[in-house]
Structure 1
Amino acid sequence: MPSSSVVHAAVFAAGALVGGGLATAVGASRNRSQLASPATKPGSAPVVDVKVEPSGATRVSPTGAAGTVTPLTPLPAILKYGNPGPIADQLVRTAYVAGYDRRLRHPAWTAEHLTLAKLGKSLLDPPSPESEGGDRSNSTFTEDESLPAMFRARLKDYFRSGYDRGHMVPAADAKMSQTAMNETFLLSNIAPQVGEGFNRHYWAYLEDWCRRLTGAFADVYVFTVPLYLPKQDPDGKWRVTHEVIGNPPNVAVPTHFAKVVLASRPSSPATPTIPEISTGAFVLPNAVIKDETPLESFVVPIEAVERAAGLTLFSDEVKKGSKHICQTARCEVVVRRFDDARKRPEMRRAISAPAK
């Protein structure tokens, strides 16, 4: 497994190709103006559109979500025997929406909306004693039978692969019901992740940080995006190299993962209907990351993620009108090493498990 310094070098080098953001937006003395990004192509439609209601509340509308009607257009005669695509499987679940990549056999992106109430932490709107809650111990990893059989990820693909079945939408974000919890265990919400030092540690800390944002913001939207970033080989050329697991090889292993957040709250008590919007993007290598690594070292422009993934996450208006999340919230993870506590019985009461 590469060392932390090598991992960071790969992240920074990759930024030179995916938009310049990864290399220029990170650094102890960086200027926040570096996070300002060029406008996206005029007329481009966002994968997820963030809108402000007349009441001042914000909502996320995935394009083509269930209930929308897309007019059918006649196919060209050359495609009369079949249209090869691309076909994007949009999966609308109880706690999230996802776009599934049939070729890579993991989500191309996931989107979720976090609030204190949804996480069961609201004092004003606590869950009723009769309400059904999700229990992780009652959930099991399951193949997604809603997808065509030939494009599904399978349980055997991960067996002895050396990678964790990494949740893109964590189970801890879906405690509102057992159905919601179970849906996070569908393999269509899973991607291969390095376990020790990443999925079970730093990535879990980042997921926890996203949940903790609900303590300062009324609405938190979280987008998780697997990435395949290039690195420069000794011959000076840039290449994307990634592993594929399964027998036969079916599931691609991302080189990196991105978390993109949008958080909203009233701009002031005097103007509760005018929202203050904060946004930010973080790209982490799918590798061991030391606990002491600052979260801000993974900050990148949102456009860098969009270019690398081929997505448009937010409209130009949202990007231009938002503050950076690290200006309005503390960008710092809380390290909680539950695995160490299990090895040391005397520490079990002092260290809690990172929720997943």
Structure 2
Amino acid sequence: MRNRLYFVLAAFLVLAGCKETEVTPEQPVYTPVSEHVALGNPSNATAEVSDFNNFLMVKPQYVLSYSRDRGTPNWVSWHLSSTWTGSAPRQDDFRADMALPADWYRVSASSYTGSGFDRGHNIPSADRTRTMEDNSATFLMTNMIPQAPNNNRNTWANLEDYTRDLIDDGMEAYVIMGSYGIGGVGSNGAVNTIDNGRVTVPKNIWKVIVVLPEGDNDINRISTSTRVIAVNTPNVNSIDSDWGTYRTSVDAIEQATGYDLLSALPDEIENSLESKVDTGPTR
């Protein structure tokens, strides 16, 4: 009987030793197509022509998702640091983006004329002053939205200036800007579309700014204490010039747009940062 027990025990040990080790599959690693989308591709945009309302366009200076039917970007994403700024003058060469598929309507420099809305940059001209080529790239019409003049020239300009002040103070930032909805109020009143219906006027304009001390290995330096500024403004001319009035959470912007922002971050850090509303200085 004792020998039989020894035999059974030995057989059990042999079988246990031969059992394959279970390996937990690793989560897929996000590999950005550009430094400008290091925090993720918010809408999973692709460069497939069939993805005509979520068409990925990768430029040296920024990355965007474009909507053919709206005639505007869904979102534009870029990295801002001292390496992107310099003394290149503003080019003001608004023009159609010839990188769009040949059979798509291309919004032109004159498409906004007389509309009561500005050609509102997503990535600002002043964020790309390293070279004239970099600055010129910001004037492609795929970077523009119909923006209420006071929104563009006051509220949004103040936020853009504040962001560059942070860069001057030794910080760097990852910025995502977008718009959604239909219908804004420009200098000529409320409008849903311009350019004979070919360009949609957005109802809201938003931006998310992740701020870091300048350095290397940026994504791994982002923590639950990293400053994230999220702003969502109505696209109206009667807007308050203080952008701090319109601060919100990333979660709220995601709920309004259906996008997944900051998706390249570890879940714990992403969830923490996206739930907060910034209370830092505004000037």
TM-score (norm 2): 0.71
Q: 1:262 to 1:217 in 2, by over 3 A?
A: farther
From 241, 246, 255, the equivalent of 1:307 is 255
**1:279 match:** 228
Which residue of structure 2 lines up, in the alignment, with residue 109 of structure 1? 75
- Which protein has the larger Cα radius of gyration, Structure 1 or Structure 2? 2
Instruction: From the superposition, tell whether residues 318 and 178 of structure 1 become closer, same or farther in structure 2 (CA, over 3 Å).
Output: farther
Quote how far apart the aligned CAs of 1:162 are. 1.5
**Aligned equivalents of 1:321, 1:246: Cα separation in 2:** 42
Q: Report the AA paired with residue 209 of structure 1.
A: Y
CA distance in 2, matches of 1:60, 1:204: 25
Paired residue for 2:60? Answer: 94
| Post-superposition offset of 1:331 | 2.6
Unaligned runs of 5+ in 1: 1-42, 52-57, 73-82, 121-132, 231-240, 268-272, 333-356
Per the alignment, residue 24 of structure 2 pairs with none
For 1:36-115, what aligned pairs fall within 5 Å after superposition?
60=38, 62-63=40-41, 84-85=50-51, 88-115=54-81
Matched, 1:218 2:196: no
RCO (CA 8 Å, sep 6+): is it higher in 1 or 2?
A: 1
For 1:246, the equivalent position in structure 2 comes to: 195
Task: From the superposition, tell whether residues 99 and 325 of structure 1 become closer, same or farther in structure 2 (CA, over 3 Å).
Answer: same
Question: Superposed, which structure 2 residues align to 1:62-211 within 5 Å?
Answer: 62-63=40-41, 84-85=50-51, 88-120=54-86, 133-136=87-90, 138-148=91-101, 149-195=103-149, 197-211=150-164
Q: Specify the alignment match of 1:130 in structure 2.
A: none
Q: Cα distance, 1:45 vs. partner? A: 10
State the partner residue of 1:331.
Answer: 282
Kindly provide the amino acid, as one letter, of the partner of residue 199 in structure 1: N
Aligned to 2:3: none
The offset of 1:63, in angstroms, is 4.5
Q: Secondary structure at the match of 1:219?
A: strand
Distance 1:46 1:309, change over 3 A: farther
2:212 is the counterpart of 1:259: no
User: 5+ residue gaps in structure 2?
Assistant: 1-26, 184-189
Q: 1:47 to 1:139 in 2, by over 3 A?
A: farther
Partner Cα distance (1:229, 1:162) in 2: 16
Closer/same/farther in 2, CA of residues 212 and 92 from structure 1, 3 Å limit: same
Alpha-carbon contact 1:217-1:263 (below 8 Å) kept? no
The answer on whether the counterparts of 1:104 and 1:251 sit within 8 Å (CA) in structure 2 is yes
Deviation, structure 1 residue 184: 0.5
Give 1:154 shift: 2.5
| 3-state secondary structure, aligned to 1:296 | helix
- Length-normalised TM-score, structure 1: 0.57
Alpha-carbon contact 1:46-1:312 (below 8 Å) kept: no
In the TM superposition, what is the alpha-carbon distance from 1:256 to its structure 2 partner?
A: 1.2
Equivalent residue number for residue 30 of structure 1: none
Q: Any conservation in 2 of the 1:91–1:99 contact (CA below 8 Å)? A: yes
Deviations 1:153-175 (A, max 9, x none): 22342121111111111100010
Q: CA RMSD in A?
A: 3.8
User: CA–CA distance in 2 between the matches of 1:161 and 1:59?
Assistant: 32
Number of residues paired by the alignment?
A: 238
SS in 2 for 1:158: coil
